[in-house]
C-alpha cells in the first residue's frame, strides 16, 4: 500500500497533533484527511505553515490543560452511581466497564469523557463503593467515587414469631412487673386482710368506718351480803 507524508492541521487521536508530520496511506489522505481539512500534503510551500500550526497547537494544549484541571476538581467531589443486575445472593452479573462509567457520567453529571481516560486497575465485580482513576490529561490524574448498587434489592427474611409462653413473659417484663413481684404483693394484702378483729378489724370500727377508742373497764357487781344465821 502506497504511503504519503502529510502535515496534520488538527489534533487526531491516535495519529498526532497540529504541525506533526506523519505518514499515512495515500488513499486515507486523499479520501478523508484532505477533504476534511485535517491535513495538508508535505511540500515546501506548506512547511511555511508549520509555525502557525505549532502556535495553534500550544494554545489548544494550554486550554485542554486548564479545562481538565477544573474538571478533575469537580469530579473528585462527586459520586457516580451505577445500577447493575444481581442474583438472589447479591452477586453481580458481569463487571462494570469503562464504557458503563462514561455513559453514567454523561447521563447523571452531563460530563462527556472518553472511556479510554477511565482506568480500572481491577475489574469491578462487587457492590458497594469504589474509586476509579481518571487520566484526564498527561499532567492531570484524579479519582472518581463510584457506587455500585443492585437493581434487585435483596429480600430480608422476617423473624420467626416467638412462642406464646415467651411472648407473655416479655409483655409482663415490658410493663415493669414480674409474676413473682405480683404474687408477693398479693400475699401481703392477704395477710393484712386476715388480721383478727381484736387488733384493727371490723369490730373496732365505729360508725362511718371511724376507729373507736379503747373500751372502758366493766364495773364489778357488789358482792351479796350474807344472811345472819338463824338462832
Quickly list DSSP for 42-80: --HHHHTTHHHHHHHHHHHHHHHHHHHHHHHHHHTT-EE
pLDDT under 70: residue ranges of the chain: 1, 153-231
Q: Which pLDDT belongs to residue 205?
A: 52
Q: Which CATH number fits domain 73-150: 3.10.430.100, 1.10.3720.10, 3.30.450.20, 3.65.10.10?
A: 3.10.430.100
8 Å CB contact between 97 and 119: no
**Ranges of each domain in the chain:** 3-48, 73-150
Q: Which pLDDT belongs to residue 200?
A: 47
CA distances from 37 to 11, 34, 55 (A): 11, 5, 18
Helix then strand count (H, E) for the chain reads 8, 7
CATH 3.30.450.80 at 3-48, yes or no: no
Q: Which pLDDT belongs to residue 138?
A: 86
Query: CA 119, CA 142: separation in Å to the nearest integer?
Result: 10
Amino acid at each position: 500500500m502506497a504511503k504519503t507524508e502529510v502535515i496534520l492541521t488538527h489534533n487526531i487521536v491516535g495519529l498526532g497533533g497540529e504541525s506533526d508530520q506523519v505518514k499515512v496511506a495515500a488513499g486515507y489522505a486523499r479520501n478523508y484527511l484532505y477533504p476534511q481539512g485535517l491535513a495538508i500534503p508535505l511540500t515546501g510551500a506548506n512547511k511555511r505553515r508549520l509555525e502557525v500550526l505549532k502556535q495553534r497547537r500550544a494554545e489548544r494544549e494550554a486550554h485542554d490543560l486548564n479545562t481538565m484541571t477544573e474538571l478533575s476538581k469537580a469530579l473528585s467531589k462527586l459520586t457516580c452511581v451505577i445500577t447493575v443486575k444481581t442474583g438472589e445472593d447479591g452477586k453481580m452479573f458481569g463487571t462494570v466497564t469503562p464504557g458503563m462509567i462514561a455513559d453514567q457520567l454523561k447521563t447523571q453529571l452531563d460530563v462527556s469523557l472518553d472511556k479510554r481516560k477511565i482506568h480500572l486497575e481491577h475489574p469491578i465485580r462487587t457492590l458497594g463503593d469504589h474509586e476509579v482513576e481518571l487520566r484526564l490529561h498527561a499532567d492531570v490524574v484524579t479519582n472518581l467515587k463510584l457506587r455500585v448498587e443492585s437493581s434487585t434489592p435483596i429480600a430480608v427474611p422476617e423473624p420467626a414469631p416467638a412462642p406464646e409462653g415467651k411472648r407473655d413473659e416479655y409483655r409482663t417484663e415490658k410493663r415493669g412487673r414480674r409474676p413473682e413481684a405480683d404474687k408477693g404483693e398479693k400475699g401481703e394484702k392477704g395477710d393484712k386482710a386476715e388480721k383478727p378483729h381484736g387488733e384493727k378489724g371490723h369490730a373496732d370500727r365505729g360508725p362511718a368506718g371511724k376507729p373507736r377508742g379503747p373500751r372502758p373497764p366493766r364495773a364489778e357487781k357488789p358482792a351479796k351480803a350474807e344472811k345472819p344465821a338463824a338462832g
